[in-house]
């Protein structure tokens, strides 16, 4: 029985780097890490009872997924827009 690999393998880095709003791997890291921090803040606020400060995950997630994996999935599925300051 084979197990499907998740995380940094899926979605692939090559596919993420082909997004029109990602110019380099460094930009991808910064963009994904900022979103991962927002997702982490969302889960912290949810635990503290402050539900509406930050937008939660925009893709289907499992309980085992880390915020960075969720952020990379959002980028892969074109759920995020890059602003001038991001």
3-state secondary structure 14-79: HHHHCCCCCCCHHHHHHHHHHHHHHHHHHHHHHHHCCCCCCCCCCCCCCCCCCHHHHHHHHHHCCC
What's the whole-number mean pLDDT along residues 49-75?
Answer: 84
pLDDT tens digits for range 9-59: 678 888 999 998 899 999 999 999 999 999 998 888 777 766 666 778 889
Q: What is the pLDDT of residue 31?
A: 93
Q: What is the pLDDT of residue 44?
A: 84
pLDDT tens digits for range 31-41: 999 999 999 98
């Amino acid at each position: 029985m084979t197990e499907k690999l998740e995380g940094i393998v899926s979605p692939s880095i090559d596919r993420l780097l082909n997004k029109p709003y990602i110019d380099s791997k460094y930009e991808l890291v910064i963009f994904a890490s900022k979103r991962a921090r927002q997702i982490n803040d969302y889960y912290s606020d949810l635990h503290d009872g402050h539900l509406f400060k930050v937008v939660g995950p925009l893709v289907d997630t499992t309980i085992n997924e880390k915020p960075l994996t969720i952020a990379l999935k959002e980028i892969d599925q074109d759920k995020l827009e890059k602003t001038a300051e991001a």
